Structure formats: structure tokens, C-alpha cells
Amino acid sequence: MSTNELTTSSAAEVNDKAHEPHTRKPQRRGIGKAQRREAIMLVIPSLIPVIIFSMAPLLIGIFMAFTDSTLKRNHDAQFVGFDNFTRLLSDTYFWDSFRIGMIWAFSVTALQLLAGMGLALLLNSNLKFQGLTRLLALLPWAMPPVVVAIMWKMIYSPTSGPLNAVLGSLGLPDNINWLGDFSTALPAVIVVGVWVGMPQTTITLLAGMQQIPAELNEAAEMDGANAWLKFRSITMPSLKPIIASITSLNFIWNFNSFGLVYVMTEGGPGGKTMLPMLFTYIEAFKNRNLGYAAAMGDVLVLVVVALLAVYLWTQFKGDKIK
């Protein structure tokens, strides 16, 4: 084969390769569109329940906040603009419940973290019957909130509760009305909230601890570090992203609490345990002011969205640092 023929064949191959992507692009583009259509068709069945049971009630609630809707018979709802929100600004009972809700959420979240960290450290050590202890640690989380509330109401009973019986056997006051006294009702409910939510915090932290390489602790022990130094210099830095995530989620969940407190105290005594979600429920279904309750709900949704934004920001910041 001559040099000219080689040159000609090489040029032809180059031209074929140069034109090859142009001929394949439409095919790839077509495959991409088909994949997107297939993905959309797979997602739609899961989106339908979200739209029906989440988005639709939310949009209805937002619209209802601008009306005077009630549960009274033969009442035609009228558009009232921002009247419900203007009334809400001067409603001291709502803002008192909001303050109590923040105290509840901060207290329960902080105590859940402390108690969960201690229990996770204990479960991460070489205990006997480790599987059984972890199962027992999950027990409060597995119980329905209504059952938990009834059980703790019995424990807190001023006349027949085991808590007062134990205090009496120790020579301490045994006639305390834990859920009926202004000074003890909120702390008593906070204890129950911590007990219920502690397992999920414990298991999350325990999973994070088990991801820490054992070589780090072994090297620290060889350097003479005690348990506190290992916890401060190895465990805590490794768990920082997990702590930020679980704390943010716990705060949102605790702020939205309703069933536990409703069964235990119904917001009493004297509104000392009146959480904002509970106050909104009472305004809607006992006082029958749906429009005004919807305005409260909108405000609480904004608070939860703000908290969720903080959570997502911490997650994004942590991923960016990595």
C-alpha cells in the first residue's frame, strides 16, 4: 500500500470518528428522555398520596386562615383578609402557649441528647446480654404515645401512684399532685417526653460510635489517655454531624408534640402545659373557630419551616466542610 493510500485511509477514519458523536447524540438524547419519562412515571404514584394527604390540607389551611370559617351549622364562611392574624398578634394566650412550647422543645431536646449520649456510651461498652439491653433501650420508642401517657398518669397519681409511694417509703413528701400542681406539671411532662424520645437519640448516637475506627481509641490508650480524654478528643468530634442532625430533628418533632401532653394533662393545670399545637386543636375543635385556628397553624408551619431550614443549612455546611 502506498503512502498516499495510507494517508487517504487515515483521513477517512478521522472523518468517520469526527462524525460519529454527531450521529450518536440524538440516540443518547432519546434514551435520556425515555429514562426521565420512566422516572417520572415511577415517582407519580408516590406523589399522589403526598399531594392528597399533605399538600392539599396545607393549602386548604392556608386559605382558611383568611376566612371566618367555623364549625357552626349554616355558617357561610366569608373572606376576612388578615383579621385573624391581626387578632393573633394580641392573643396573649397563644403566645403564652408558644413560650411554653419553646421551653418544652428546648428542655426535652437537650435532656434527650444528654441521656441518649450516656446510654449510648453504656451500650457501646462490652456489656453482658448486649442484645437484650439494646432491645430494652428501644422499648419506650416502640410504645404508642397514648399508652405511654396513660402509664405515666398512673405513675404520677397523687393517691395510688408508685412514685409517691416510693417517696413516702424514703420519708419524703408523698402527697404531691405531679400533674395537677402549677410548679410540677411542666417538669413532670418534660420527664415523660425525654423518656419517650431518648431511644431514637441513643440508637443514632450508638450507630455513630460504632463507625469510629477502633485504632483511634487504641492509640489514645497507648498514649495514656483516660476515658474522658478519649470522649472529648475522639468521640465528640466524630459525632458532631450526627449530633447536629438528631438534635435539629428532635427539636422539630418535640415542638410539634400533641398526643402525649393532651392525654396526660390536656394543657392544664391553668394552661401550664398548653403547647401551641394543643392550643390550636382546642381553638379549632372545642371553640369551633376554624379560621382563627388555621391562622395559628400557619404561624406554626412557618416556625417549623424555619427550623427545618436551619437543619438543612447545618447539613449542607457539614457536607461542604467534608
Q: Are residues 141 and 46 in the same domain?
A: no
Is the model's pLDDT at 30 over the cut of 70?
Answer: no
Percent of all residues in the chain with a pLDDT value above 90, rounded to a whole number? 49
**pTM of the predicted protein model:** 0.80
- Greater confidence (322 vs 263) lies with 263
Q: How confident is the model at residue 22 (pLDDT cuts 50, 70, 90)?
A: very low
User: What residue numbers bound the domain in which 268 lies?
Assistant: 83-321
| The total number of structural domains that make up the chain | 2
Q: Please write down the long-range contacts of 311-319, taking CB distance under 8 Å and 24 or more positions apart.
A: 311/245, 311/248, 311/249, 311/252, 314/244, 314/245, 314/248, 315/244, 315/245, 318/240, 318/241, 318/244
Q: Is residue 65 part of a domain?
A: no
Q: What are the cell numbers at 311?
A: 437543619
Kindly write down the DSSP assignment for every residue of 247-265, as one continuous string.
Answer: HHHHHHHHHT--HHHHHHT
Residue 61 lies in a domain: no
Which of the listed ranges 54-63, 127-136, 178-187, 251-260 does the model predict with the highest average pLDDT?
Answer: 178-187
Residue 135: pLDDT above 90? Answer: no
pLDDT tens-digit profile of 108-119?
Answer: 999 999 999 999
Q: At 113, which CATH number? A: 1.10.3720.10
DSSP 263-319: HHTTT-STTTT--HHHHHHHHHHTS--HHHHHHHHHHHHHHHHHHHHHHHHHHHHHH
- For residues 132-144, give the mean pLDDT: 82
